[in-house]
Amino acid sequence: MVLAWVSTAVILVIAVVIILVVAVGMGPWAHRAPEIADVAATTARHMNGDAEPPKVLVDLFDEIPELRPSARSATSAPSVNTDGTASADAR
């Protein structure tokens, strides 16, 4: 029961933070706190996928070794097209 309350609280805090980022970064309160608005707008662009990822994050993912084999090497790979539909020979 305690785990459910804690999980709910964490989810609500994350939701409120996201709403505040959007409200301060792109909303009507941007002129009141321009420094926070700039950071919030940049964060919002990153969350939308409109901004380039930070170099530190790219370097971090480049350092992580690939532990699983490629999905293209699976025996079922030729039977699935890139659009997700099964090809005629897979039936």
Would you kindly state where each structural domain of the chain is located, as residue ranges? 15-62
pLDDT of amino acid 84: 55
Which amino acid, 71? A
Interatomic CA distance for residues 74 and 53, integer angstroms: 30
CA distances for 49 relative to 5, 42, 72, 88, 90, angstroms: 31, 11, 26, 35, 35
Q: Residue 12 pLDDT > 90, yes or no? A: yes
Q: How far is the C-alpha of 41 from the C-alpha of 3, rounded, in Å? A: 33
pLDDT surpasses 80 at 4: yes
Residue 5 in this model has a pLDDT that exceeds 60: yes
Amino acid occupying residue 90: A
Measured at the alpha carbon of residue 56, what is the angle toward residues 62 and 11, in degrees to the nearest 5? 100
pLDDT, tens only, 27-81: 666 777 778 778 777 877 887 888 888 788 888 878 777 666 665 555 655 555 5
